[in-house]
Amino acid sequence: MVKKLRKEGYQLGRYQVRHIMRRLRLKVTQRVAYKITTKRKHADSVPDNLLNQNRTLTQPPPTRFGLAM
């Protein structure tokens, strides 16, 4: 907050800013660098394939609009 006020041309110290913020009932909140969306232990094993799905391709997938990639 002090740095921002000094950029704008105010000559205030941190204690003066603290006093003003307290009087105005302002609170500083830090931003979160990143939010963890999944909590997973890397030691956990992969679950068994209960549906016995075979995901191997027997032939290449069909191309759309005649364009081969």
Number of domains in the chain: 1
**DSSP H helices in the chain:** 2-7, 14-23
CA distance 49 to 57: 17
- So what's the pLDDT on residue 54? 73
What residues make up the domain containing 24?
1-29
Q: How far is CA 59 from CA 4, 55, 64, in A?
A: 62, 12, 15
pLDDT per residue as tens digits for the range 6-52: 899 989 898 999 999 999 999 988 888 887 777 777 777 777 777 77
- So what's the pLDDT on residue 62? 74
Residue 43 CA to its chain's centroid (Å)? 24
Residue 9 lies in a domain: yes
The three-state secondary structure class of 20 is: helix
Residue 45 lies in a domain: no
Residue type, 43: A
